[in-house]
Chains A and B, each alone.
Chain A
Amino acid sequence: MTTATEPLKAKDYKSEIPPTWCPGCGDYGVLNAVLKAFADLQIDINNTVLVSGIGCSSRFPYFVKTYGMHTAHGRVLPVATGVKMARPELEVIAFGGDGDGFSIGGGHVPHVARKNTDITYIMMDNSIYGLTKGQMSPTTPLGMVTSTTPYGAPDNPLNPLAFCLTYGATFVAQGYSSKSKVVEDLVKRAIKHKGFSFVNIISPCPTFNKVNTFDFYKDRIGELPADHNTKDLNAALKYAFEGIDGKIATGVFYDVDKPSLLDRLNGIKDKAKASVDYDINKIIDDFIP
């Protein structure tokens, strides 16, 4: 048992369930960085809910000791929204893969972004479908051979960062699973951010994605310049599309403070002069003929 005086360490956030990921999977790096971020923030185990969809990456909540929900493919954001809106005091963090989040669940992202829903969304982007064994995903590069695209992927990949920026997310960042310290920092900042924060983490799948491997990324990951203005949406979009010096940019692209969904819902409750012991007989009176 830990007492209040003994701060929790990263390993204290680890559950008894060992990760089921393949050896060398990028998701291990994400898990380790997240556990460290939790320890650094001293995240409250009892008041944190990790929500995920379906996919290799979506197994994430099982490996952490907090409350969690493993839901249905693509539905992580709606379920996470429900938890947070019902219990604003809880820390709600959503996890999933690029297929889960941007293919089947892609219809939810714009709305969570535009509403500035108070959740953190961490995507493990491996540019492939892992759990179903190597099909093309929405971030698979054009022309890549996958199990469903033996002649090369016919679809242009989408850009998760630009997508979220365009729809109004107030915190958008990108990390790379191998750069654990950066990921840890991004996760911490995302959790602390009020409103919707999106962190795309490039997380290679050595089993099925033979193109976007750790080797491939070795010289292709760059960092946003130290003087990047995170309030500048145009600059953020430019880096999202073009990267930096021919490399994929990592770091915080965008970080602004705007009213969140909870702020607005609270505004509605104020307008309705809400109180928990509002007399229901008063609304029944409205039906007296």
Chain B
Amino acid sequence: MAQNDLIIRFGGEGGEGIISSGDMVAQAAARSGLEVLTFKTFPAEIRGGYAMYQTRFAHDNILCEGSGFDVMVAFNQEALDQNVKLMKEGTVLVYDYPGGDIAEEQNIPGVTCYPVPMSKTAKEDLGMYRVKNMVAMGAVAELFAISMDQIRETIKEKFGKKGAEIVELNFKALDAGRDHVRNNLKKTDPYKMDPGKPKEGTIIISGNEAVGLGALLAGVQFFSAYPITPATEVANYLSKELPKFKGTLVQAEDEIASIGNVIGASYAGAKAMTATSGPGLSLMQELIGLASISEVPIVICDVQRGGPSTGLPTKHEQSDLLLAALGCHGDASKVVISPEGVEDCVYLTVEAFNVAEKYQVPVIILSDGSLGFRTASMKRPDPKSLRIVNRELYKGNGKPFARYEFTASGVSAMALPGTPGGAYISTGLEHAESSAPRYTADNHSKMLDKRFNKLNDIEDFFPKTEADVQDGAGLGIITWGSTIGVVREAVKLARAQGLKVSALYPKLVWPLPLKALNGFTSKHKKILIPEVNKQGQLARLIKSETGLNSISYPIYGGMPFTPAMILDKIKEVI
């Protein structure tokens, strides 16, 4: 029986090749024409500790990591211990035995167990312990019909530079794994991937790379950041690509400097961006306020991680929403948007620049650890089809220039240095239209109104709130960020079971899309808000803006929701 949706999880010690095994399976599946979505968690330490990488593949669009796994490949005892309680009836376990870290032959009720001597084969037959993961890959490919040719291709690309000998050794390990299955095991489980047809126009990309690509598509010219997990990959990717477009990339001495760099670059006319994670976003707050009051368009990508403080540096959390929306001294107008998946990471980053440019505001993109590290397949973007918005500029038309002129839209033209007649001071001090300091109560109120009111039509400019309303549903779910994919899948499952449920997926999370929100909440008796943080941050924001008492469903264990958890909750509250 072929399977249309399969999740294979690799678990072992960090640094043992878990990640590259998962990557290769994902790559091979994508090449065979399948949709893929990966999920990894790893320890904050470079070596050691439990690391996990799973790949989900299917013929249809994959919405999230899924609920658990079908196949577990355990490289050591810890991986086994961590996952054994998650193995449901029918799960398959492939494990390193005998001769590895796992001391006993496994016999788990309801679980099909395939021992494969990964360490032993690698060490004793091939003389290189490091290729243990390839032995595992060979066994997995043979067991679940994953294209061996595609895996070989990936190996060639990955190790080609290291020389033919290394490639050969990896091939041998792969074959040894395959042969072990052929000669010693009898397949009794039903899982087998039915390859699709190689698809034209598909790419496979990580969430963090997708943000970088989105920035390039938007025309980013300047990027400055300070390394922090899980955001570093955005900078790594742009370091490689941005110079090709004559863009400038600076590694700053800290996050304060990086956002300072970005503000300077944008004032000078460049589309500019930084990427960080929670602790960095905390440090940037003062200058986010500066960008807000001085009306300098900037984009900040915050790849959220567990907090507060250093918290859980490699774990998943959606807990920076309140910081992003409200975390500035004074009344700072800003925009926060949050992508649900890697495709969104591309397009919403483009839109983040559009919003920043149109409204001359700081825009924060809230990604998160599991989304940033996830790789998934998506349709190749077409650069020509994108909407690109640029800021309104003072062209030096003889009219005296007032940088902070009161206009009907609240947005005033910006003069770029070099423009005759446009010289002005960009300032974080409250100012008159001319930009000269002015602290009168009247002027401060008017300027604050200007900076907030200019965002009045943002819900129409950024129409990314999708309402999936089912007739007769009493329960509506509202969620944000990468939890959207999980809820989408849970809603499908619920409806398949005859449950009536609606959902609202806002991508604009600050200011809240009130028209869409109110329209949705008025149609449903109960509103459930699942999110991965302790305080129920979106639920609080919604309550503060609309008075709505929702059923907040916060989780905070460093892992994303699963569709099964949402489905259970739906059943509980419906």
**Which B residues touch A194, using CB under 8 A?**
none
Give complex CA distance A278, B429 in Å.
40
Q: CB < 8 Å: which of A79, A90, A107, A111 contacts B263?
A: A79
Cα distance A85–B221 in the bound complex, in angstroms: 10
Is the CB–CB distance between B264 and A86 below 8 Å? yes
Closest CB of chain A to B57's CB: distance in Å? 12
Contacts of B254 in A (CB 8 A): 107
A92 to chain B, nearest CB (A): 8
- Beyond A82-B272, A281-B383, whether A51 also contacts B243 by CB under 8 A is no
Contact of B209 among A111, A275, A287 (CB under 8 A): A287
Query: How far apart sit A67 and B421, CA to CA, in the bound complex (Å)?
Result: 10
Residues of A within 8 A of B224 (CB): 82
Q: Are A82 and B263 in contact (CB under 8 A)?
A: yes
A226 in contact (CB, < 8 A) = no
A86-B221 contact given A78-B260, A111-B257, CB 8 Å threshold: yes
Question: Does A71 lie at the interface of the complex (its beta carbon under 8 Å from any beta carbon of B)?
Answer: yes
**Known A79-B261, A82-B222; contact A280-B246, beta-carbon cutoff 8 A:** no
Question: Are B264 and A79 closer than 8 Å at their CB atoms?
Answer: yes
A79, B64: Cα distance in complex, Å: 40
Mark out the residues of chain A between 38 and 54 whose CB falls within 8 Å of any chain B CB in the assembled complex. 45-49, 51
Q: Which residues of chain A are near B424, meaning CB under 8 Å? A: 67-68
**B423 within 8 Å of A (CB atoms):** yes
A10 to B: closest C-beta gap in Å: 17
A4 within 8 A of B: no
Question: Contact check: which of A62, A80, A278, A287 meets B245 at CB < 8 Å?
Answer: A278
A68, B425: Cβ atoms under 8 Å? Answer: yes
Q: A78-B252, A90-B268 are in contact. Are A284 and B426 (CB under 8 A)?
A: no
Bound complex: CA A87 to CA B246 (Å): 12
Residues in B with CB closer than 8 Å to A269 are 243, 246
A65 within 8 A of B: yes
A69 within 8 A of partner (CB) = yes
Residue of B nearest to A270 (CB): B243
Asked if B443 is at the interface (CB within 8 A of a chain A CB), the reply is no
Q: Which residue of A lies closest to B250 (CB)?
A: A85
CB-CB nearest in chain B for A104: B256
Known interface pairs A70-B425, A78-B264, A107-B254; A276-B381 also in contact (CB < 8 Å): no
Q: For the complex, what is the distance from the CA of A48 to the CA of B423, rounded to whole Å?
A: 9
CA of A265 to CA of B381 in the docked complex: distance in angstroms? 29
B110 adjacent to chain A (CB < 8 Å): no
Query: How many residues of chain A get a CB closer than 8 Å to chain B's CBs?
Result: 52
Interface flags, B29-48, vs A, CB<8A=1, else 0: 01100000000000000000
Taking a contact as CB atoms under 8 Å apart, the answer to whether B269 and A86 are in contact is yes
Contacting residue for A111 out of B204, B253, B287, B380, CB 8 A: B253
Q: In the complex, A75 Cα to B426 Cα: how many Å?
A: 14
Q: In the complex, which residues of chain B have a beta carbon less than 8 angstroms from the beta carbon of A111? A: 252-253, 257
By beta carbon, the residue of chain B nearest A88 is B248
**Residues of B close to A48: CB separation below 8 A:** 417
Q: Which of B30, B213, B289, B417 has the most CB of A within 10 A?
A: B417
Known contacts: A49-B268, A284-B381. The answer to whether A108 contacts B253 by CB under 8 A is: yes
B199-240 CB mask vs A (1 if < 8 Å, else 0) is: 000111100010001001100011010000000000000000
- Report chain B residues within 8 Å CB of A75: 256-257, 260, 286-287, 290
Query: Which residues on the B side are within 8 Å of A68 (C-beta)?
Result: 423-426
Chain B residue nearest in CB terms to A109: B253
Residue of A nearest to B205 (CB): A287
Within 8 A of B (CB), among A239-289: 265, 268-269, 271-276, 278, 280-281, 283-284, 287-289
A-B contact pairs, 26 of them (CB 8 A): A17-B436, A46-B419, A46-B420, A46-B422, A46-B423, A67-B417, A71-B260, A72-B287, A79-B260, A81-B261, A82-B264, A85-B265, A86-B222, A86-B265, A87-B417, A89-B418, A90-B418, A111-B257, A271-B243, A274-B246, A275-B245, A284-B203, A288-B380, A289-B30, A289-B202, A289-B204
Among all A-B residue pairs, the 6 with the closest Cβ atoms? A82-B264, A78-B260, A86-B265, A289-B30, A287-B203, A272-B243
- Taking A46-B420, A86-B264 as known contacts, 13 extra A-B pairs with beta carbons closer than 8 A to each other, sorted by chain A number, are A49-B417, A67-B424, A69-B267, A71-B260, A71-B263, A71-B428, A82-B222, A85-B261, A108-B253, A111-B253, A272-B243, A273-B244, A287-B209
